[in-house]
Chain A
Amino acid sequence: MKYPKYTIIASDDLYSYEFYSEGPKGRIKKAIFFTPIGKNLFNLGFGDWNEETQDVDDSNRSNNSDRDKVLATVAFTAVKFMEHFPGALIIIAGSTPARTRLYQMGIAYNYIEIKDLLEIQGLIKDRWESFQLGTNYKAFLISRK
């Protein structure tokens, strides 16, 4: 993928990934993980790692001036995950509408590169449709073509 991205590190089982955002706010550890929720069905989780609580937090906006690089890293990680689990279907839904919009921006930003690799569906009202730029969705489902 041509957009700048951070180097990711994977867990042994390849379900979890992490990287460090670097910017004016310092070095922030980010976690990306794919939680099995059904047969070949995974939920994509993403957020900042909080050492104190030993939990992930997606409520903060890091404002580390690297949003596009972070989103490109998440998109790259999803592609890598599906290289390892080619039958996987990944659901992406933000914890808030703002967070979902952020994911939508990530897909849109990387769309040219990922559209040939991935099938992307968006949930609009009560149905799934093929992802279209400029449409606001509640959630996304991605799989390998």
Chain B
Amino acid sequence: MSNTAHKKGKGSVAINAGMPDYNKTSFAIKKAEKARALITKYGLPKADKTKKGK
């Protein structure tokens, strides 16, 4: 299977194993830094579900 070939993935979404890792782009890194800063400044809502886990 080539990198651009798609296979049926988990659920109803097809998977492309050759997709660029968008999370490693400079855009993503800058956006993540801004989001962290925002959370540091304002915190999370009291009823957040971050401890729920998968």
The verdict on A12 contacting chain B, using a C-beta distance below 8 Å, is: yes
- In angstroms, how far is the closest chain A Cβ from the Cβ of B54? 5
In contact, A37 and B35 (Cβ under 8 angstroms): yes
In contact, B49 and A8 (Cβ under 8 angstroms): no
In contact, A55 and B11 (Cβ under 8 angstroms): no
The verdict on A114 contacting chain B, using a C-beta distance below 8 Å, is: no
Main secondary structure of the interface of A (DSSP, over half): strand
A54-B38 contact in complex given A39-B50, A45-B28, C-beta closer than 8 Å: no
Interface bracket on B? 35 or more
Q: Name the interface residues of A55-91: CB closer than 8 Å to any CB of B.
A: 55-58, 80, 83-87, 89, 91
A38-B36 contact in complex given A89-B50, A128-B45, A141-B48, C-beta closer than 8 Å: yes
Main secondary structure of the interface of B (DSSP, over half): loop
Q: Name the interface residues of A22-64: CB closer than 8 Å to any CB of B.
A: 31, 33-41, 43, 45, 47, 49, 54-58
In contact, B20 and A35 (Cβ under 8 angstroms): no
Partner of A141 from B20, B44, B51 at Cβ < 8 Å: B44
Q: Which positions in A face B, CB cutoff 8 Å?
A: 7-12, 14-18, 31, 33-41, 43, 45, 47, 49, 54-58, 80, 83-87, 89, 91, 93, 95, 119, 121, 123, 126-128, 138-139, 141, 143-144
A to B CB contacts below 8 Å, 18 in the list? A9-B6, A9-B19, A10-B16, A10-B19, A12-B19, A16-B21, A34-B23, A38-B39, A40-B51, A41-B44, A45-B31, A58-B27, A80-B12, A80-B13, A91-B38, A126-B42, A128-B42, A144-B49
8 further A-B contacts with Cβ under 8 Å, apart from A86-B52, A87-B53, A141-B44, are A7-B14, A9-B19, A10-B9, A17-B13, A33-B28, A49-B22, A84-B11, A89-B49
